[in-house]
Structure 1
Amino acid sequence: MGAKASKNSHDFDKPGTYVYADESGNSGKDIFSEKSPIYYQGAILSVGEIDNVVGPIIQRYCDENTLERLHGYELGEAIVNRICLDLLKALEDFDWQFHYTAIEKRYMSPTKFVDTVFDCYDNPAVHPFWYTTELFRHTLCILIDDMMEGGGDEAFWQYYLADDVDGLIEICEILLERAPHIFDKRACEVVTDGLQYAIRHPEILTLVSAKGKSAYKKQTPNIVAFSSLLTATHRFCNKFGTSVSEMIHDQSDEFKGTMREYHRMFFGVNYQDDEFGGIPLFKEVEYELGTFKLESSKNSYGLQVADLFLWLVQRDVKDEVLKKTKSLILENSDNYFISRNMSLAIVKARHHQLMQQDITPEQIQAGKELNKQIVANQLRKMKK
């Protein structure tokens, strides 16, 4: 539990934050299913609990449609639209937000490869800037995704989940043969040096996925999305100066233990993004973290609201009326995406941001000196 802060920053007498989270696009370790390429998570975050306000609305529609609980896919667009409009009206007196996560599941393979092989804290052949800054890390992810074409991504994922060192080295060797085709000279050097070091030093290929029958779950889209929800909850609490009262996630038998572990171990720490996409600053949160519950949506009206909003937001709607309702939800939302297209967008945005900066000759010289120190430190580590 984080230590309490003064009431100047968080008012412990006001209603706490309630989080109601739902998911769709079943995943687990199978990230290459063509039937379900995207994993989605949606959550309502509110100051104060909303069940008493949204409950009568949901119960009315349950009665009208002879349902035990509301699911978007059972109702159809027209009914979901009416329900969502009623719910949005009911939430007008609340401070609330919808958090939306979408993960292109297959893209987790190249990104996990980058984390495994090109982590500069394990691989001294990789210049720290290429792993710790968004511009270069996402560049690596895109390059590795391209180089894994033809089944390399699926092969790596199987080797990774099995902690198969020989298989991981085999993937590194295949990618090393393809590295000379990288157009950018510096990127080619970084990828080549990083792969060569990993092949010579397979001990850097951290083995965690097969240690225990549940260890693989930490590598899944489900837990990546859950981590993004924890971070979104911190942002929400800081914005409204509240503590957390309850975090309620739709029941998940497969991931309940891992979710509880992540909530216990990581929820007490938040981070602040670096202005230029560099290393974030981590610090312990200064408010109560509340309780974490896994419940059936039968027992939580708030979870049913999250389900309905998520069902609508993830759809590519054509109807203009439905588009307007969807936009009303998105106007009061934040999101977290993992996909190749998002990596491309981040690279483009960060490159543009850096190109717009005015850099003095003194800053350029200081940068050169820092780079000399970094390279010298890399060489020392590689000689050990």
Structure 2
Amino acid sequence: MSKGNDGAFIYADESGHSGKEIFNEQSPLYYQGAVISVGEIESKVAPIIQRYCSENGLERLHGYELGEERVNSLCLELLEALDGTQWRFHYTIIQKRYIAPTKFVDTIFDCYDNPAVHPFWYTTELFRHTLCILIDDMMEDGLDIEFWNYYLKDNLDGLIKICSALLEKAPYIFDKRASEVVTAGLSYAIANPDIFTLISARGKSAYKKQTPNIIAFSSLLTATHRFCKEYDVSVTELVHDQSDEFKGTMREYHRMFFGVDYEEDKFGGIPQYKQVEYDLGEFKLESSKKSYGLQVADLFLWLIQRDITDKNLEETKAKILDNSDDFVISRAMSLAIIEARHFQLMQKELTPEMIKAGKELNKKIKANQKSAMEK
């Protein structure tokens, strides 16, 4: 694979910073956006940004300071400057409060820790997102906030308290099988609290790994792998807007996890992980004052976030989206995944041999579950 200036360059910015405070109603969403390109883009966009900043007495470009009309004009110039470059805009949107029910599902219903949970209910997208929606529905009256506080403190007694509160609601789940799964999973967790591996409070920075910031950063690393595969390049440089709170955790994630990629299962099952075969480049945390690429990411991200009524701005946003991919964590996305996977599976023709094999596999899984629960 190619290296050096022909490798991938990533310029990433964020908006809606929250850290562990995920229930702020004034800022319900967290965004991260990154321009990923083959070769650096600084030299291509620098004349545009330098000229505008010089004419307007600015140190750097910030979308929220410029307003729609000026952002639109700048984005059109920047898109023209990138014409002929192989690039993509990757953006992540996280509904911050929805992290609570998803973390609860990961903690309680992980089939590798909780043998009462059938693996299909945790390892396949259809059923895992079904659990997330069910738990989100049940975490009313502040249970989600209560759980999140216990979770960040590794408070096991508090976690069991939440399990007990949800267990009382489990019989009212409309779908009988889902009710059985939730009831069994919660009951086993309450009776066997030693199954939990709690890590949020192990060290003063451990909680940061559970935040929207780091979830989005992980998404960016995965998007970078996809880009490198598509264009057969290594990573030369990954530049993220500086973050004093998360710089250590980002460096740790880049060092420990960036070298591993995965292949998704076409039916939303267990992905296959493997070591990447290309250079991972240099990771930098910089001020956008020092990086024109970060300023481009800032403007594109600002535009992506807008609910637009202006026709010209809408057309510019569409041009960016046409060359974008996304990663979204939200209740609405879980519902969309459930619907899409259900439709996909309903269209799949199953032979008698496949049905027989499935039944045999299910027998083995249930036997393993029973054996694990009897230990």
TM-score, L = length of structure 1: 0.97
Q: Distance in 2 between matches of 1:12 and 1:96?
A: 16
1:26 aligns with 17
1:281 aligns with 272
List gaps (5 residues or longer) in structure 2.
Answer: none
CA contact (8 A) 2:109 2:122 kept: yes
2:335 aligns with 344
**Are 1:320 and 2:311 matched, yes or no?**
yes
CA contact (8 A) 1:62 1:70 kept: yes
TM-score, L = length of structure 2: 0.99
1:3 aligns with none
CA contact (8 A) 2:259 2:275 kept: yes
Q: Distance in 1 between matches of 2:87 and 2:251?
A: 24
**1:249 aligns with one of 240, 244, 257:** 240
Structure 1 pair 14–240 and aligned structure 2 pair: CA distance change class (3 A): farther
**Are 1:159 and 2:115 matched, yes or no?**
no
**Are 1:266 and 2:273 matched, yes or no?**
no
**1:370 aligns with one of 361, 364, 367:** 361
List gaps (5 residues or longer) in structure 1.
Answer: 1-9
Map 1:175-190 to 2 at 5 A. Answer: 175-190=166-181
Q: Distance in 2 between matches of 1:199 and 1:300?
A: 51
Shift of 1:14: 6.9
CA displacement 1:212-249 (0-9 Å, x = unmatched): 00000000000000000000000000000000000000
Q: Percent identity?
A: 71
**1:40 aligns with one of 31, 41, 47:** 31
**Are 1:121 and 2:81 matched, yes or no?**
no
**Are 1:88 and 2:88 matched, yes or no?**
no
Map 1:97-246 to 2 at 5 A. Answer: 97-246=88-237
CA contact (8 A) 1:14 1:242 kept: no
Shift of 1:26: 1.2
AA aligned opposite 1:67: L
Shift of 1:204: 1.9
Q: Distance in 1 between matches of 2:333 and 2:103?
A: 16
Shift of 1:72: 0.3
Moved segments of 4+, more than 4 Å? none
CA contact (8 A) 1:19 1:45 kept: yes
Q: Distance in 2 between matches of 1:19 and 1:161?
A: 31
CA contact (8 A) 2:116 2:184 kept: yes
**2:294 aligns with one of 278, 303, 311:** 303
Shift of 1:13: 7.1
Q: Distance in 2 between matches of 1:324 and 1:196?
A: 53
2:370 aligns with 379
- Count residues in correspondence: 375
Shift of 1:12: 4.0
CA contact (8 A) 1:125 1:382 kept: yes
